[in-house]
Structure 1
Amino acid sequence: MAMASCNPNESKLLNDDTSQERSANVHKVEDQEMEGLPCRQHQSLSILSGPEKILSILIITTMTFLGPASTSIYGGLMALRCLQSFGSSSLSVVGIAYLSDILTRAERSKYRLYTSSGYTLSHLVGPVTGGLLAQFLGWRYVFWFLAIFAAVTILFILVFLRESCRAVVHNGEVPPQRWNRALIDFLHPLEYRQDTPWPRTPGRTPGRTPGVLDTIRLLSHRSTCLLSIFSAVLFCGNMAIFVSIPVLFEDQYGFQLWQVGLTYVPYAVGGFAARWIVAPLTTKNKRRYRRRIGVEAMDRSPQELPLERACLQVILPFVYMACIWMAVYGWLMKRNVHPAGPLVMLCFAGNAITGVNIGITGLLLATHGKRPAVVLAAANLVRFLCAAGAVAGILPLVKTVGIGWTATIMAGVYLLFSGLLWVVYCYGHLWRTIEQKE
């Protein structure tokens, strides 16, 4: 929500009109770099804390929302925005770890469909809200709105979010310490097999706590590395679209801030629809493979099940559709046609790109079911650091060759890197079998 709300009005955050484009680029580059940094750190801490970790990140993020609302110094504004990115990226990793604690492997994909919808809804509501507030009240009110929104979220967590960390409550059999309990624990306490809290001793902690280097080490797995690279390429195109939309629609169609915010709606609608298309298709394809090998239970993942093929058979068609919609969108913008044409293509592109992202993330989580936070942190590390380069280069590239050829180049990059998915499709199951035996 924080990133999406600021997308339509990046230029309003800057005071020097002569360096707006360069400063906006630097701003977005540092934003993406900072989102990649916490992925190496919070993946290990998320194993040790549940609601406390989420609360600490949200409180820090709320404070950074209050700063931009009252500062006029560009350097301070950029530093606070970097801290916001640091916190928002951490929440996604900790959230996946929390879901893994309270859900079985069979239930994760179903509930992740609902929880990940928040990311898509933020791109639907955020730009519209940010554009309206910046247009009629001023850009500072965007940060006041975000601070209030974060404060309400903190209140809900304090009241309803129970402790789930297995190092504290085991499998829900041990009560947490009083300072780890939500308000609902005092109003409606649960029944536990053990009456006293579990002492936090190394010998009682289930399994080894992953370290920071485990994120980098996980990228040495061949399938994980290839999927993370393609996911990063996909995210680069995604961020390139987000960054270029305000400039293109303001220059070509003379849109105001609130109208620019509305241009993000088709992309978000397409992405939201993809979540209800890709997940059911992937689940159905997995069941087909399970019937083929004689295992029907969805909570079991036998070694014989080729998860890579089951998922990529759904993902690959969306990749090639994304290439088509991306190129068509660019040339429609180049021809300066009616805004309805590019907006429809944005809807289709959002559907395809989001569908691929959902499928790849689901495949990574399925093949690393025992350490979902670590694998998500590894993928985000590659994704955000690569996106920083894409954000820095997209506007100069558009000025040099035009939006038509820029979109064609992006589609060509998607097409070229789709070969990585075909390698995983052919050899991923074999590699996973060998790695697990070793």
Structure 2
Amino acid sequence: MDPETGKGDNTTRPGDGHECHPSSTSTEILPTTEPNKGQNASDLEIHPTTTIITAADDPEALAKTPSAPLHSVFTRSQRICITIMVTLGSFFSPLSGQIYFPAIPDIAKDYHTTTARINLTITTYMILQGLAPTIMGTLGDTTGRRPAYILAFTIYLAANIGLAVQQSYTALLVLRFLQSAGSSGTIALSYGVISDIATPAERGKYLGPAAAGIMLAPAIGPTIGGLLAQYLGWRSIFWFLAIISGGYLIVYTLFMPETSRKVVGDGSIPALDWWVMSPFQYWSAQWAKKKAIREGRGCEIDEKEKKAQELAQKRKFQFPNPLTSVMILREKDALIVICFIALSMLTLMAQLASLPSLFGEVYGLNTFKIGLCYIPIGVAAIVAALLNGKLMDWNYRRWAKKLKLPLEKKRSTDLRDFPIEKVRLQPVLLLAPLVAAVYIPFGWVLQKRANLAVPLILEFIIGYCQVSCSNCLSSLLVDLFPDKPSTVSAASNLVRCWLAAVGTAVIADMLNGMGWGWCYTCLGLIYVLGTSLLWIEYKWGMGWREERRQREERKRQQKEGQES
């Protein structure tokens, strides 16, 4: 008996002494639809052993039938562990970018060069930070999450070791390039993993920590880097990253299961290639196979192997092409959401880059104390991760109840007639205006030399609202493109990182040319512009999604017609 389909087959495994026969009775669940025009009720043939149950008779029965398979067989504790691993994985890229800042003067002094030349290593890092996910995301969607993760962290680990021992500026530039290439792809992969294991109804609580990790790292990175550079030297920063990434790679390789639905389905189908599975997962599968054969359930193994072969035939390796992610920007809804995420990151990175000079001038703080001033944003990211995911899931349940739609937490959900755009955007449209309202007075507060507590409180509000908005919008992107979550997340990361690089580059000139108050007023108005774009998506997004579905359906039918 196949646990997914509830059906058996008539095949007999030699030597197992057990036959798999179809069940003598079955239950068929039919939707409450009327007979086709011109069709009489007498034309409907009902098998004597088949019980017909409509959704109106038993609204919960339909969700329990084989036609609505489990979205994922991973248990709740397994999904929590998987979420922790992908959160830690996505933490490395922004951490590596920000932890480097306090060491720039020391590195420039050791290499007898200017800080401007050292700043070029930041530029190259951010360029790859935007580009790498478009490659790793596509690789993860086509070959599986595990191979992409292991490749990314192997490159990252080697780059960190090289950075810790290199002796030239050229080597520093090249290795920072490779460091970004290795770590940055994990951001797109993390969204793909969350999509594999969580349905839209519960995605918020799993995606929240992953998004918070991305926002938390820039806040605590300078503090860690400042401590290491001050007491152990700047090379200790890269040894620190090498040690923690090496430990992560070992744990991931040994225990993290493959989750890609193109490889293992709902998680119950063992991958054909042993190297795609973790050693723990491989040994468990082998033990389960021997046990099933010993107990005379060999037909289950045959069925799973057959499904694994079918998935492998459908899955073709594609050489990672960054343009695949960029092409998603042709879709109007994706373009709007990604533009807002990018504008949001532009304002946040501009603020983070300006804090050292502003706080140093206004409050006379040293490097270490300035690093501590980033803590409110980090705390806000943690709070947002804990609260906003629950808010997202509550709002999803509220809309499902309002529309009298089934709430599926265990099974995949068809969002065709569900206004997922409104569900995800409602919290954003409440929080985004608050971010703009806080950005506008931030520069004036510093310009008036207000008490240090005031800008720190404003930082906390900005951090909480920014992380919450990013969480909701990242989940929306996955909902809009459920078949390629890593690819669309990579497109978002590309635009986000490159605009953030622009913000970091121009903030100093803006502060000097416009003044602190007007500079942050401009950042607030940029956020207002982004919020206005979201209203467009809120109103017309569902229609655009349906147009895209119909267009893709026509292409699929044309392709099938050509093949036949």
What's the TM-score, normalizing by structure 2?
0.71
Runs of 4+ off more than 6 Å = 195-203, 208-211
Unaligned runs of 5+ in 2: 1-94, 290-299, 552-564
Contact 1:100 1:372 in 2 (8 A): yes
Give distance in 1, aligned partners of 2:533 and 2:170. Answer: 40
Which amino acid in the other structure matches residue 258 of structure 2?
E
1:330 Cα offset (Å): 1.5
| Cα 1:320–1:118 shift into 2, 3 Å | same
Is 2:360 the partner of 1:250?
Answer: yes
| Aligned partner of 1:127 among 213, 218, 222 | 222
Secondary structure of 2:165's partner? coil
Q: Distance in 2 between matches of 1:141 and 1:311?
A: 42
Q: 1:260 to 1:176 in 2, by over 3 A?
A: farther
* Structure 1 position 338 matched with structure 2 position 489: no
Structure 2 residue 396 is the aligned partner of structure 1 residue 286: yes
2:502 to 389, 393, 397: 389
- 2:262 & 2:473 partners in 1: Cα distance? 29
Q: How does 1:28-427 map to 2 (within 5 A)?
A: 28-47=122-141, 48-171=143-266, 172-185=268-281, 188-189=284-285, 191=288, 193-194=300-301, 204-206=312-314, 212=321, 213-298=323-408, 299-427=412-540
Contact residue 244 and residue 394 of structure 1 kept, 8 A? yes
**Cα deviation, residue 214, structure 1:** 2.8
Q: Deviations over 1:306-333 (max 9, x none)?
A: 1112222210121111112212221122
Structure 1 residue 421, shift from structure 2 partner:
0.7
- 3-state SS of the aligned residue for 2:154? helix
Equivalent residue number for residue 430 of structure 1: 543
What is the distance in 2 between the residues matched to 1:72 and 1:185? 42
Structure 1 residues 63 and 207: alpha-carbon distance in aligned structure 2, compared to 1, 3 A threshold = closer
Q: CA deviation at 1:98?
A: 3.0
Matches of 2:517 and 2:113 in 1, distance apart?
26
Q: CA RMSD in A?
A: 2.7
| Shift of residue 27, structure 1, vs aligned partner | 3.4
With a CA cutoff of 8 Å and minimum separation of 6, indicate the structure with the bigger relative contact order: 1
SS at match of 2:182: helix
Find the aligned partners of 2:359 and 2:515 in 1 and give their Cα distance.
14
- Aligned pair count reads 437
Moved more, 267-276 or 161-170: 161-170
Relative to its length, the structure with more helix (as a share) is 1
Q: Are the structure 2 counterparts of residues 131 and 415 from structure 1 closer, same or farther at C-alpha, using a change threshold of 3 Å? A: same
Shifted more, 332-341 versus 316-325: the winner is 332-341
Which shifted more, 277-286 or 89-98?
A: 277-286
Could you tell me whether the CA contact under 8 Å between 1:330 and 1:405 is conserved in 2? yes
Amino acid at match of 2:514: V
Distance change (3 Å), C-alpha of 1:336 and 1:304: same
Taking only the aligned residue pairs, the percentage that are identical comes to 26
Contact 1:25 1:391 in 2 (8 A): no
The code of the aligned residue for 1:173 comes to I
SS for the counterpart of 1:46 is helix
**1:328–1:345 Cα contact (<8 Å) kept:** no
**Ranges in structure 1 where 5+ consecutive residues have no aligned partner:** none
Question: CA 1:28/1:396 → structure 2, altered by over 3 Å: closer, same or farther?
Answer: farther
Per-residue deviation, residues 137-180 of structure 1 (Å, max 9, x unmatched): 22211111111011110111122112334454444323543333
1:389 to 1:24, Cα distance in 2 relative to 1, 3 A: farther
**Once structures 1 and 2 are overlaid, which stretch shifts more, 71-80 or 129-138?**
71-80
Tell me the secondary structure at the aligned position of residue 303 of structure 1: coil
